[in-house]
Amino acid sequence: MCGIAGVISFDRTPDVGVLLGMRNALVHRGPDQQGLYLGEHVGLAHTRLSVVDLAHGQQPMRLRRGEAEYWLVYNGELYNTDELRHELQAAGYRFAGHSDTEVLLAAWAHWQEGCLARLNGIFAFAVWEKHRERLILARDRMGVKPLAFTVQDGALIFASELKAILTVPGVAAKLDSAGVAELALLSPGRTPGRLLLKDMQELKPGQWAIFSRDTGLQTHTYWKLKAAKHTDSADESVEHVRYLVKDAIERQLVSDVPVGTLLSGGLDSSVISSVADIYFTARGQRLKTFSVTYKDQKKHFRAGKFQPNADDEYIARMNRYLSAEHFDVVLDTQELACALRTALEARDLPGMADVDSSLLLFCREIRNEVTVALSGECADELFGGYPWYRDETIRARAGLPWAQSTDYRYGFLRPEWRAQIDPAAVVRAQYEAVRADTDVQDDAPESHKNLQRMVRQNTDLFMQTLLTRKDAMSMASALEVRVPFCDYRLAEYLYNVPWEIKELGGQEKGLLRTAMADFLPHEVLHRKKSPYPKTHNPAYLQVVRDMLREILDDPNAPLFALFDPAALAGLLTEDGRSLPWYGQLMTTPQTIAWFVQVNHWLKKFHVDVRN
Catalytic machinery residues:
2
Decide the pairing of beta strands 372-374 and 480-482.
parallel
Q: In one letter, which amino acid is 437?
A: D
Query: Of 108, 138, 113, which is closest to residue 126 (Cα–Cα)?
Result: 138
Q: Where are the alpha helices (DSSP H) in 91-145?
A: 100-111
Is the CB of residue 336 less than 8 Å from the CB of residue 597? Answer: no
Q: Dihedral through CA 492, CA 494, CA 499, CA 503, nearest 10?
A: -170
Three-state DSSP state, 284:
coil
Instruction: Return phi, psi of residue 562, to 5°.
Output: -120, -40
Is the CB of residue 558 less than 8 Å from the CB of residue 535? Answer: no
Distances (CA, A) of 128 to 137, 167, 422: 9, 22, 43
CA atoms within 13 A on the CB side of 337: 20
Evaluate the omega torsion of the peptide bond into residue 258 and state whether it is cis, within 30 degrees of 0.
no
Is the CB of residue 123 less than 8 Å from the CB of residue 107? Answer: no
Q: How many CB atoms lie within 10 A of CB 130?
A: 18
Is the CB of residue 194 less than 8 Å from the CB of residue 202? Answer: yes
All residues at 6 or more sequence positions from 87 whose CB lies less than 8 Å from its CB, including other chains: none
